[in-house]
Amino acid sequence: MQRNTSVSQELFDAAIAVRKRAYVPYSGFRVGAALRASDGQVFVGCNVENVAYPEGCCAEAGAISSMVAGGQLNISEIVVVADSDPVVSPCGGCRQKLAEFGGPDMIIYLADLSGVQAKWRLADILPATFGKEHLRSGE
C-alpha cells in the first residue's frame, strides 16, 4: 500500500487520542476514528465492546453517531487507526454506514500508530453500493 501523508495532522492526532479510550476487554484491539464533516468539524469515535459480543460498536460507527448528534450529515474524510499490520480496514457494516453519509469520493485514510499508510475512496472499498436510489426505484 502507498504511504500517504496528505491527511491533516489534526485528524490523525484526534484518531490517535480517541483510540486510547477504546473499551476492548474482549479483543484487546483498540481502534480510533476521526472524521471531518463537510462543515469542517471533527468528530471522533472508538470501539466499545460488550460481553454479548455482537452488541459491540466499531470506532467508525461511534464517530458517525457523534457527527449526527452534532447536527452534521456529510462526511468528507475519515481516518481509522489501529496498531495492526496489515493496516486496519473498515468492516463491511461500517462501509455501508459510511456510504449513508458521503458519496463515492469520500476519502478513507487507514493508519497505524506511526501514520497514514493507505488512502482509499469509498467507491474503492464499497463498489456497487446499495443506496437511496434503489429504494426510490421501488416506489
Q: Which residues are catalytic?
A: 60
Judged by CB under 6 A, the residue of 43, 47, 67, 72 near ligand THU is 47
Judged by CB under 6 A, the residue of 4, 16, 17, 56 near ligand THU is 56
Residues between 85 and 124 that touch ligand THU (CB under 6 A):
88, 90-91, 94
CA distance 60 to 48: 11
CA distance 73 to 69: 9
Q: Is 44 in the site for ligand THU (CB under 6 A)?
A: no
Q: Is 79 in the site for ligand THU (CB under 6 A)?
A: no
Burial class (CB in 10 A: 0-12, 13-18, 19+), 84: middle
Q: Do 88 and 59 touch, CB atoms closer than 8 A? A: no
Q: Is 83 in the site for ligand THU (CB under 6 A)?
A: no
